[in-house]
Amino acid sequence: MQTLTVNTPSHAYPIFIGTDLAKRADAVLKPYLGSSRAVIISNETVAPLYLAQWQRALDQIGCAHFSIILPDGEAYKNWETLNLIFDGLMQNRAERKTTLLALGGGVIGDMVGFAAAVYQRGAPFIQIPTTLLSQVDSSVGGKTAINHPLGKNMIGAFYQPQAVIADLGCLKTLPPREFSAGMAEVIKYALLGDADFLSWLEQHITALMAQEPETLAYAVEHCCRMKADIVAQDEKEHGIRAYLNLGHTFGHAIEAEMGYGNWLHGEAVAAGMVLACRLSEQLGCLKTADTERVMRLLKAANLPIEPPVFTSEKWITHMQHDKKVENGVMRFVALESLGKACVLNDVNKEQLTAVLEPFLPN
């Protein structure tokens, strides 16, 4: 088991990375509970696989518990499902110090974190991410949210967990498409801040896709370390944390237009990163060969490299709801070079149209 620490102004907390971590509840769970009572919140897909082992873990450390099981999918990341969490908490008389355990992928982690942020004005929660995407990205850093029909993650709060418990064994039951979606976020880290890691990924992509244990453990640890470092410097995204949104402005537009869940988040981010590279080309920062290098890596991870076709008006409408918009101006994360990100405040319509032109209706 490896342990990293995320240091934020709110508080410091550990990330545990390993296998069979439920059997180490004394170390990874017990010290981070707010009281002797907890609730495990999961979904209909994950619960049959992993709920029982975490129930046993709570039993072993003498923590009373109950469970709330939600429907599975990005389409349910909304107010209605969030209220199912509050219903369960109220019906079971959860108190302010009752710890919420988020057992699932990014959707569960985001919703449970948001519920914890607002239930009785703040309850403790622990992330137990079960997907590659959530282990390397969404479970770390305290971003919690639900979607709105007009924009992804537009309603939420910054609220840090007490701990993150990333059990790599969970990835064995992950469908290949979901694993690939997580690889989009792994590749994102290389593009935004570590050219050496990009080279490492190119050399090890076959082993990663085969989930070779040591290679996978290194990739997860490296991404978590990068995320922890960025969050420590910029907890609430006033500066460099925005770099983590590489590909996301385009990607969120894809998700909103296609209907949440039809394109997985990582798939939309993958296509969005290619568009971000194309935008960087328009600005003279990247060469076509750089973009093609990114596309080869994404294809090796079985990810899409082209977005769906829809009108420029729809692209603009969705991107105007992006969280990075300031004073009505759209801001984009681009690349000065492979491994070095930047935020653009002055992208004009002509540059944006040139990037989107191949993917607009005839």
Cite the active site residues: 121, 143, 185, 227, 237, 241, 245, 248, 252, 265
- For 266, the 3-state DSSP assignment is helix
Tell me how far apart the alpha carbons of residues 333 and 251 are, in angstroms, rounded to a whole number. 12
Identify the residue whose tokens are 């010290």: 31
Report DSSP letters for 63-92, one per residue. -EEEEEEE--SGGG-SHHHHHHHHHHHHHT
Tell me how far apart the alpha carbons of residues 260 and 244 are, in angstroms, rounded to a whole number. 21
Angle formed by the axes of helices 195-209 and 288-300, nearest 10°: 30
- Strand 163-167 vs strand 125-129: parallel, antiparallel, or unpaired? parallel
Tokens coding 317: 């409408």
Distances (CA, A) of 154 to 191, 314, 322: 25, 18, 8
Tokens coding 314: 């729809």
Tokens coding 56: 């046993």
Tell me how far apart the alpha carbons of residues 249 and 271 are, in angstroms, rounded to a whole number. 11
CB-based burial, 195-226: b 16+ in 10 Å, e otherwise: eebbebbeebbeebbeeeeebbbbbbbbbbbb
Tell me how far apart the alpha carbons of residues 95 and 222 are, in angstroms, rounded to a whole number. 36
Q: What is the DSSP letter of 15?
A: E
